[in-house]
């Protein structure tokens, strides 16, 4: 594996994993502004965990969602996918750091290190896919309610938390793809180099030596 590509992929995966941790507790997943005069103007924003409101004086109040089962299905699914993305990113980060060439885990077995790094790349891809599905699903419901003329509730717009989630998903997918592309698995067509070993010198018995050994088996009286 190329060390430069490996280090770049680890940086992308770590940055994507860090941004998932920032996007999950971010309060501004969807934002709505209630227009009025200077006093009554307020901003309502929500995320996966709570709903908040802020007035023009800067006073804000937040309340957690009272029941998990009473929430919409896409909010529950987005919660599960985001938590799974953090778990996958943690496994991918550990596996990639263990499979790096500079690490001492695995010794000098670079084939094993490459396979461990490839597993880390798969975990980064799973992290990116989970984040992308969660954020895109949440944004699709926001846009559907916003453009629905018969929707009776408050219409929201896309907040900054979703953009952070999209960015983290792209970074994680790029990091995992770089790790998988940089790992070169050995195939049957690859030539396996062998170290050259010079032939050992062996003593070949000459004809004179054989005749001398045969003559020594007889006594001197045998020739008389």
Predicted local distance difference test score (pLDDT) of residue 122: 92
Domain 3-182 in CATH 3.65.10.10? The answer is no
Predicted local distance difference test score (pLDDT) of residue 186: 44
Question: Which one is predicted more confidently, 13 or 98?
Answer: 13
Confidence of residue 95 (pLDDT cuts 50, 70, 90): confident
Instruction: Quote the CA–CA distance of 135 and 17 in Å, as a whole number.
Output: 15
Judged against a pLDDT cut of 60, whether residue 187 lies above it is answered with no
Predicted local distance difference test score (pLDDT) of residue 210: 47
Q: Are 17 and 93 in contact (CB under 8 A)?
A: yes
Pairing of strands 157-158, 60-64: unpaired
The segment with the largest mean pLDDT, out of 39-43, 109-113, 162-166, is 162-166
Predicted local distance difference test score (pLDDT) of residue 197: 54
Could you give the 3-state DSSP secondary structure of residue 192? coil
Confidence of residue 190 (pLDDT cuts 50, 70, 90): very low
Could you give the 3-state DSSP secondary structure of residue 207? helix
What does the pLDDT look like over 37-76, one tens digit per residue? Answer: 555 567 888 889 988 888 777 777 888 888 877 888 889 9
pTM above 0.85, yes or no: no
Extents of the domains making up the chain: 3-182
Residue % of the chain over a pLDDT of 90:
32
| Mean pLDDT estimate for the chain | 78
Instruction: Quote the CA–CA distance of 107 and 101 in Å, as a whole number.
Output: 9
| CB proximity list for 38: less than 8 A, separation 6 or greater | 56
């Amino acid at each position: 594996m190329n060390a430069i590509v490996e280090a770049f992929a680890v940086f992308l995966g770590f940055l994507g994993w860090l941004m998932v941790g920032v996007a999950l507790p971010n309060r501004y997943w969807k934002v709505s502004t209630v227009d009025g005069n200077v006093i009554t103007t307020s901003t309502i924003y929500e995320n996966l965990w709570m709903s908040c409101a802020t007035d023009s004086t800067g006073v804000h109040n937040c309340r957690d969602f009272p029941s998990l089962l009473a929430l919409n299905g896409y909010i529950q699914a987005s919660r599960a996918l985001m938590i799974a993305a953090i778990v996958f990113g943690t496994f991918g980060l550990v596996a990639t750091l263990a499979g790096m060439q500079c690490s001492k885990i695995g010794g000098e077995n670079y084939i094993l290190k490459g396979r461990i790094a490839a597993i880390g790349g798969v975990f980064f891809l799973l992290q990116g896919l989970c984040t992308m599905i969660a954020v895109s699903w949440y944004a699709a419901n926001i846009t559907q309610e916003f453009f629905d003329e018969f929707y009776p509730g408050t219409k929201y717009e896309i907040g900054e938390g979703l953009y952070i989630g999209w960015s983290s998903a792209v970074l994680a997918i790029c990091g995992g793809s770089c790790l998988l592309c940089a790992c070169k698995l050995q195939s049957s067509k690859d030539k396996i180099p062998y170290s050259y070993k010079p032939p050992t010198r062996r003593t070949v018995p000459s004809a004179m030596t054989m005749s001398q050994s045969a003559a020594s088996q007889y006594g001197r009286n045998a020739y008389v």
